[in-house]
């Protein structure tokens, strides 16, 4: 099938770009001797997940229990639920463990630890303690006295204390290779230090899990780290390109849209993809180059000079040449097709039921995404 035969808007996945992205991170981590535990939340697709993981059984990372249950049903048996656990969800965790799925949960509060320990009466729940190494979101600081109290509550209470986890989400706000390398080292050193404190107190900490796509590429030292988590690297996006982690030519997904009109006095082209298809994420607005709601390319993924989705309504996207640019507005008649690269791959992919997989400009297959939910 040709791209012209597709209904729009729809989500394209360039298989060659994806495979190149997968090989790039795999080569980097294999060379460092560090295990990859890929985050499946970006793709939420069994076919993509199997290409990301070491084996059909994992290991892998998820962001919702719904993802854990769906991937478990697909044969993934080693999963990390990398969001702080709510006590009300522990019944679903225990149900997966009783089925033989190793699902590790995350805590950073004493109350959580006690709840996990109480729920471990029948089957010990594998648990990591989240460490805050960059003031980005959740976790206890590496030197926080609560770290040992949380570890003791888990270990003495019957849970399986596995170690520590941190996520350098602050890397998304860094600029330049030196800053990204520095936050990667801060991530590593903080997690290793926290694990060392647990071990010095006689508590188990075999796992030291770190990860974000930027730090996975800019870290210079993996000493003490047992695994790296990353997710958006499989597709990349404009935020990653803006950070210098990848190039625009590496972005593997894009929304295929059709020109449905023009506002010639405003130098605008109207397409049938608004924020329902693109997502409302404006992550590049904080970067030196603002890509609007997405960068506009021809159907093969080659960008038009400085053409962006300047505005997005629910089902309308308005294409304009970037402010300050002298690039011409391309001649795109009604019915012409464009491919729009996303600011945030996870958010844009979440707007669609599946991927239209393309290679050499032709549709080769379709891969469904997992049903949404938590």
- CATH at residue 52: 3.20.20.10
Q: How distant is the alpha carbon of residue 85 from its chain centre?
A: 19
* Domain annotation covers residue 241: no
What per-residue confidence (pLDDT) applies to 135?
A: 86
Find the CATH number of the domain harbouring 286.
2.40.37.20
* Domain annotation covers residue 29: no
| Last-in-domain residue among 176, 196, 230 | 230
Claim to verify: residue 94 and residue 129 sit in the same structural domain? yes
> In this structure, are residues 348 and 291 in contact, taking their beta carbons and an 8 Å threshold?
no
Claim to verify: residue 126 and residue 75 sit in the same structural domain? yes
For the chain, the average pLDDT equals 96
What per-residue confidence (pLDDT) applies to 344?
A: 96
* Domain annotation covers residue 340: yes
What per-residue confidence (pLDDT) applies to 1?
A: 82
What per-residue confidence (pLDDT) applies to 296?
A: 98
What per-residue confidence (pLDDT) applies to 208?
A: 98
What per-residue confidence (pLDDT) applies to 372?
A: 85
> In this structure, are residues 277 and 316 in contact, taking their beta carbons and an 8 Å threshold?
no
**pLDDT tier, 170 (very low <50, low <70, confident <90, very high otherwise):** confident
CA–CA separation, 234 and 48 (whole Å): 9
Find, among 156, 206, 172, the residue nearest to 35 by Cα: 206
* Domain annotation covers residue 18: no
Claim to verify: residue 111 and residue 211 sit in the same structural domain? yes
* Domain annotation covers residue 26: no
| Last-in-domain residue among 230, 260, 285 | 230
Render pLDDT for 205-237 as a digit per residue (tens, 0 to 9). 999 999 999 999 999 999 999 999 999 999 999
CA–CA separation, 246 and 145 (whole Å): 39
Claim to verify: residue 294 and residue 153 sit in the same structural domain? no
* Domain annotation covers residue 164: yes
Claim to verify: residue 221 and residue 142 sit in the same structural domain? yes
* Domain annotation covers residue 295: yes
Render pLDDT for 85-117 as a digit per residue (tens, 0 to 9). 999 999 999 999 999 999 999 999 999 999 999
What per-residue confidence (pLDDT) applies to 174?
A: 87
Task: Find the domain containing 337 and state its range.
Answer: 3-10+246-368
Mean pLDDT, rounded, for 266-276: 97
What per-residue confidence (pLDDT) applies to 137?
A: 85
Strand 337-341 and strand 253-263: the pairing is antiparallel
Claim to verify: residue 167 and residue 201 sit in the same structural domain? yes
Claim to verify: residue 178 and residue 255 sit in the same structural domain? no
Q: Is 339 helix (H, G, I), strand (E, B) or coil?
A: strand
Q: Provide φ and ψ at 20, rounded to 5°.
A: -65, -40
What per-residue confidence (pLDDT) applies to 350?
A: 96
User: Does residue 79 or residue 361 have the better pLDDT?
Assistant: 79
**pLDDT tier, 348 (very low <50, low <70, confident <90, very high otherwise):** very high
**pLDDT tier, 198 (very low <50, low <70, confident <90, very high otherwise):** very high
Domain count, the chain: 2
* Domain annotation covers residue 33: no
Find, among 294, 374, 366, 349, the residue nearest to 42 by Cα: 349
- What is residue 106's DSSP assignment? E
What per-residue confidence (pLDDT) applies to 373?
A: 87
CA–CA separation, 316 and 296 (whole Å): 14
Q: Is 17 helix (H, G, I), strand (E, B) or coil?
A: helix
């Amino acid at each position: 099938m040709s791209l012209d035969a597709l209904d729009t808007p729809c989500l394209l996945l360039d298989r060659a770009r994806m495979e190149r992205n997968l090989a790039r991170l795999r080569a980097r981590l294999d060379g460092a001797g560090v295990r990859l535990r890929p985050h499946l939340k970006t793709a939420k697709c069994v076919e993509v997940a199997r290409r990301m993981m070491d084996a059909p059984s994992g290991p892998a990372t998820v962001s919702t229990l719904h993802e854990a249950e769906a991937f478990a049903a697909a044969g993934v048996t080693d999963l990390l639920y990398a969001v702080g656990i709510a006590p009300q969800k522990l019944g679903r965790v225990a149900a997966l463990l009783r089925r033989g799925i190793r699902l590790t949960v995350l805590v950073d509060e004493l109350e959580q630890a006690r709840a996990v320990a109480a729920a471990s009466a029948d089957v010990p729940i594998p648990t990591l303690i989240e460490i805050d190494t960059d003031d980005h979101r959740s976790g206890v600081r590496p030197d926080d006295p609560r770290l040992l109290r949380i570890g003791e509550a888990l270990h003495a209470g019957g849970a399986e204390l596995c170690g520590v986890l941190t996520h350098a989400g602050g890397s998304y706000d860094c600029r330049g290779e030196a800053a990204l390398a520095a936050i990667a080292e801060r991530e590593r050193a903080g997690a290793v230090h926290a694990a060392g404190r647990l071990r010095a107190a006689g508590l188990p900490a075999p796992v030291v899990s770190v990860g974000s796509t930027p730090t996975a590429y800019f870290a210079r030292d993996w000493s003490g780290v047992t695994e790296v988590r990353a997710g958006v690297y499989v597709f990349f996006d404009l935020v990653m390109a803006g950070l210098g982690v990848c190039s625009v030519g590496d972005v593997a997904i894009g929304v295929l849209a059709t020109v449905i009109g023009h506002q010639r006095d405003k130098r605008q082209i109207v397409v049938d993809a608004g924020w329902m298809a693109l997502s409302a994420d404006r992550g590049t607005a904080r970067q030196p180059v603002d890509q609007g709601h997405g960068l506009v390319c021809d159907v093969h993924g080659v960008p038009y000079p400085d053409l962006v989705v300047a505005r997005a309504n629910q089902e309308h996207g308005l294409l304009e040449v970037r402010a300050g640019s002298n690039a011409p507005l391309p001649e795109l008649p009604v019915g012409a097709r464009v491919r729009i690269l996303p600011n945030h791959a996870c958010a844009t992919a979440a707007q669609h039921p599946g991927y239209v997989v393309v290679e050499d400009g032709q549709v080769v297959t379709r891969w469904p995404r997992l049903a949404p939910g938590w």
